[in-house]
Structure 1
Amino acid sequence: MNGDAVDTDTRRRNPRPDRRRDGRRDGRVDVLIVGAGPTGLALGIDLARRGVDALLLERGETLAPGSRGKGLQPRTLEVYEDFGVVDEVLAAGGPYPVSVVWTDGRRTGEHRIFDPVEDGGEISRFTVPWMVPQWRNQEILRARLEELGGTVAFGREVAGIGQDEDGVTARLASGEEIRARYAVAADGGRSTVRRALGIAMSGETVDPYPLLVADVRIPGLGRDRWHVFPPSGQGAGYASICPLPGTEDFQLVAQLSGRTDIDLSPDGVRKAVAERTHLSPADVTEVRWSSEFRPRAALADRFREGRVFLAGDAAHVHSPAGGQGLNTSVQDAYNLGWKLGAVLSGRAPQALLDTYEEERRPVAEHVLGLSTAIHRNQARRGAGTRQLGLHYRESSLSEETRPAPGALRAGDRVPDLTVDGVRLFDRLRGPDWTLLTLDDGVFLVRPDGYVGWAGPSVDGSDAYRARVGA
């Protein structure tokens, strides 16, 4: 139990010394993480700071390119502050710009992507979503992982996976096998691991038309606005061109209305811009990355099979509307990391791991519904998209023993209050449980910042502590 403030700078200067750079000990890892996107990297960081031997496998030769999921919600920024990377993330990005709507080459309106939100009692240092290209987000997370002694093994594709009572065996495309006590599939919406486990994914198509997504350079276009081009009525779908902070790039999203083929070549990207905007192909001086995306909402039937867990897009796939997918994925990792650490250290029983699916699958289902509603213009980008109000009140890990609970209850995220001149988040920072005494009770706060147990005094908390390894 840690009730003292943590010196973040000291933690960053002194990563745990007992971890080897390849993540292995005696030829075996504690946790094998498949996929080095934001989900896998976040989980790797959380495990590394707990001294857990974890190895990240990435089938690509580098981190994935492209701006992709560029929006970080306030709750994710709080997670990043705990990880010790928020200053770099804030410096690398910027707030969302106002959108300007273009019609026939004329500006015809402006609006904000996210609605202004009143505090509502959530109280956070971070009040607005922050835009950071995903490739830069990943670079920052990887650097922190390596600072803590973790590593990513590139060019390592998992072809199959098996398990027994003692562990998991991953078979690589090269023929090599890696043994681990647990494995986590963070390998995206087309997850090889999920398919190998036979876990189905149920969902729906959110939009019948595919999207072309690209990072482009358009020197003549203003960078102070997010440029939106509604469908022209000439058979072309909409387009949006968003300036990416910290770069000279824009993210282009072009809907391919009435078409199923996508030309991802530089000429194809330039043609998509010219068909939907007042810009000419020559205005696009560089195409730095391009991809296709087919908006759908899907949820894995279960998030666990034995010793293997699903996290991120391997477990839930979102429309990009509202900026929810990457954020929900990082918080999957934040939920699972402390639980794996507690079980692997022997402080908590294996039953603790059952609560990962219990807590995260309902959240993912809720957020999927929100993303889909925003995509279909049935909901606004408001307080719900910030993810500060998500809670685990119904979880079996949330024990409320006070006869008259106050505003802060078991299962709630602890707000970023300042009490007697001390910021609570300074007390909570780090991988441990924290005991807080506030005006309306005593709270055992989980390593992920949610209240686990609440009572009128500390009496009666012993059984709970033994159950969760606090």
Structure 2
Amino acid sequence: MTVHTDVLVVGAGPTGLALGIDLARRGVAALVVERGETLAPGSRGKGIQPRTMEVYEDLGVLDAILAAGGPYPVGMIWQDGRQAGEHRMFDPAEDGEEGSRFTEPWMVPQWRNQEILRARLAELGGEVLFGRELVRIEQDPEGVTAYFATGAPVRARYAVAADGGRSAVRRALGVAMRGETVDPDPLLVADVRIPGLGREWWHVFPPGGEGAGFLALCPLAGTEDFQLVAQFPDGTDIDLSADGVRKVVGERTHLAPGEVTEVRWTSDFRPRAALADRFRAGRVFLAGDAAHVHSPAGGQGLNTSVQDAYNLGWKLGAVLGGRAAESLLDTYEEERRPVAARMLGLSTAIHRDEARRGAGTRQLGLHYRESSLTEETRTAPGALRAGDRIPDVTVDGVRLFDRLQGPDWTLLTLPDGVFLVRPDGYAGWAGATTDGLAAYRARVGA
């Protein structure tokens, strides 16, 4: 028997789970399905950037995220078994930079991030169906029908592909993803335990002889694990076994192979950057890695993905609730595809040592000033303009973010103007007075 819902979300990674949370708190019937039998293992994308921390506060998971993680340690470069110097991975932010209480990325292993998001989804009455491998998807003017290798088909008014870089939904839709190999040298990633290695440093071992690439061991906050990343020459057949991981540690560091007491997860990949031609195909939307694939340098992939969900969630809620025209959904691709393209460029530049991990990676300065949803009616706008993210500041003893919490639009009156703030925290409309505000609200369903 076919299962019916308003929104089908394919993929239970951070993107799909964040979208599920946002839809659930809006009262939208949504179903998250996942190909695997469990949430994906591994530390993977471990860095949560300041803008995503703000999103997580609104979604109700910030306290759990803060409790589960910690700040990034300073890098320690090793040479011939000796500490050769410190290396800071991120440029420090100035106090109060860009109006946020968060100034640096927060480290939470992706597996733990997903557990927290899933728990919040369950708290809101949502669920994840595991073991649902998509084999076919069809759509018509009224909705989408998805078929799986096992389990009943799902009929939904809309569907969202959040099923990763090898997205089955994207392939079924025939949407191309174009890009480039950022680095031909493949990487090994593993979660390991090394009880004798100090956890106060991010241990970095530069490339050695005979073509061996770098190796890094980052202590994963909130766990007893280290995330190991090791680079290999192009064409290498990487050994993902526990013995293979121990061998590369013994070859490239001062540690003996046996000091790696446990290998908990392994994977390999070749860094690449790719962008889908479209983020929407009819009633199906692409989000996260299904829409854009990043080099891990700079920690932009997971964060851009969660913010895709944050952009799309309120728009789906408004259309399904009858408050906005269906055309509102076109602005998802309009707004998010250019952002993804910029973040891809930044990630690639950082990977190639052409840019630093600084203000751009924190994503607080991203805006939608050019969006068709944005109206700036003042003849002499101030520093804060329509399309900008509302800063996390206190005005007359009131923290603006406390007033912005929740799934609704918010009207703010500040010394430099009147702002109608979208549910995702960006100013949609700005004026010196409220003249023209009613027409804007009618247009966007606010």
The alignment's TM-score, normalised by the length of structure 2, stands at 0.98
Alignment of 1:190-201 (within 5 A): 190-201=166-177
Could you tell me which residue of structure 2 aligns to residue 443 of structure 1? Answer: 419
d(CA) in 2 for partners of 1:437 and 1:403? 17
CA contact (8 A) 2:13 2:39 kept: yes
Specify the SS of the correspondent of 1:160. Answer: strand
Contact 1:342 1:348 in 2 (8 A): yes
User: Does 2:103 correspond to 1:117?
Assistant: no
Q: Distance in 2 between matches of 1:56 and 1:382?
A: 34
Taking the aligned partners of 1:391 and 1:129, their CA distance within structure 2 comes to 20
Corresponding residue for 2:53? Answer: 77
Contact 1:235–1:258 (CA<8 Å) still a contact in 2? no
Pairwise CA RMSD: 1.2
Structure 1 position 228 matched with structure 2 position 176:
no
**Letter of the structure 2 residue corresponding to residue 374 of structure 1:** I
Which residue number in structure 1 is paired with residue 330 of structure 2?
354
Taking every aligned residue pair, what percent have the same amino acid on both sides?
Answer: 80
Aligned to 1:401: 377
Cα distance, 1:120 vs. partner? 7.1
Query: Which residue number in structure 1 is paired with residue 311 of structure 2?
Result: 335
Quote the Cα distance in structure 2 between the aligned partners of 1:227 and 1:206. Answer: 24
Aligned to 1:285: 261
State the match for 1:13 in structure 2: none
Residues 109 and 121 of structure 1, relative CA distance in 2, 3 Å threshold: closer
Is 1:170 matched with 2:146? yes
> 1-side partners of 2:143 and 2:193: how far apart?
48
Query: Which residue number in structure 2 is paired with residue 326 of structure 1?
Result: 302
Structure 2: gaps spanning 5 or more residues: none
Are 2:362 and 1:386 aligned? yes
Map 1:107-186; keep pairs closer than 5 Å. Answer: 107-119=83-95, 122-174=98-150, 176-186=152-162
- The whole-number CA distance in structure 2 between the counterparts of 1:209 and 1:54 is 40
Q: Equivalent of 2:429, from 426, 435, 453?
A: 453
Matched positions, count: 446
Once the two structures are TM-superposed, the CA of residue 468 in structure 1 deviates from its matched residue by 1.6
Q: Secondary structure at the match of 2:99?
A: coil
Cα separation, 2, equivalents of 1:42 and 1:326: 11
Q: Counterparts of 1:301 and 1:469 in 2: how far apart (Å)?
A: 28
Q: 2:3 touches 2:153 (CA, 8 Å); kept in 1?
A: no
Q: Distance in 2 between matches of 1:403 and 1:121?
A: 27
Render the CA deviation track for 1:311-336: whole Å, top value 9, x for unaligned. 00000000000000000000000000
- Mapped partners of 1:48, 1:467: distance in 2: 25
Can you list the C-alpha shifts for 1:10-58, whole angstroms capped at 9, x where unaligned? xxxxxxxxxxxxxx9x941000000000000000000000000000000
What letter is aligned with 1:322?
Answer: G
**What's the offset of the Cα at 1:259?**
3.7
> Is the 2:297–2:351 Cα contact (8 Å) retained in structure 1?
yes
State the secondary structure of the residue aligned to 1:28. strand
1:422-469 Cα shifts (integer Å, max 9, x gaps):
000000000000000000110000000000000111121112111221
Aligned equivalent of 1:313: 289
Q: Deviations over 1:130-175 (max 9, x none)?
A: 0000000000000000000000001111111110000001011127
Partner Cα separation in structure 1 for residue 35 and residue 258 of structure 2: 35
Query: Shift in Å at residue 103 of structure 1?
Result: 1.1
* Structure 2 residue identity aligned to 1:305: A
State the secondary structure of the residue aligned to 1:279. coil
Structure 2 counterparts to residues 28-47 of structure 1, below 5 A: 28-47=4-23
How many Å apart are 1:280 and its aligned residue? 1.4
**Aligned equivalent of 2:76, options 87, 91, 100:** 100
Deviations 1:371-428 (A, max 9, x none): 0000000000011100000000000011000111111101000001101100000000
What displacement does 1:235 show? 2.2
Match of 1:377 in 2: 353
Give runs of ≥4 in structure 1 deviating > 3 Å.
Answer: none
How far did 1:258 drift? 4.1
Q: What letter corresponds to residue 199 of structure 1 in structure 2?
A: V
Verify the 8 A CA contact 2:186 2:234 in the aligned structure 1. no
5+ residue gaps in structure 1? 1-23
What is the DSSP-based 3-state SS (H/G/I as helix, E as strand, rest coil) of the residue aligned with 1:122?
A: helix
Which whole-Å CA distance do the structure 2 matches of 1:431 and 1:123 have between them? 21
- The whole-number CA distance in structure 2 between the counterparts of 1:257 and 1:279 is 22
Distance 1:55-1:335 versus aligned 2 partners, 3 A rule? same
Deviations along 1:280-309, whole A, 9 cap, x unmatched? 110100001111121000000110000000
* Structure 1 residue corresponding to 2:184, chosen from 195, 208, 219: 208
The farther-off stretch of 105-114 and 69-78 is 105-114
- Mapped to 2, the partners of 1:27 and 1:220 lie a distance apart of 52
65-74 or 109-118: bigger deviation: 109-118
- Cα distance in 2 for partners of 1:446, 1:427 equals 12
Deviation for aligned residue 1:234: 2.4
In structure 2, what is the equivalent of residue 303 of structure 1? 279
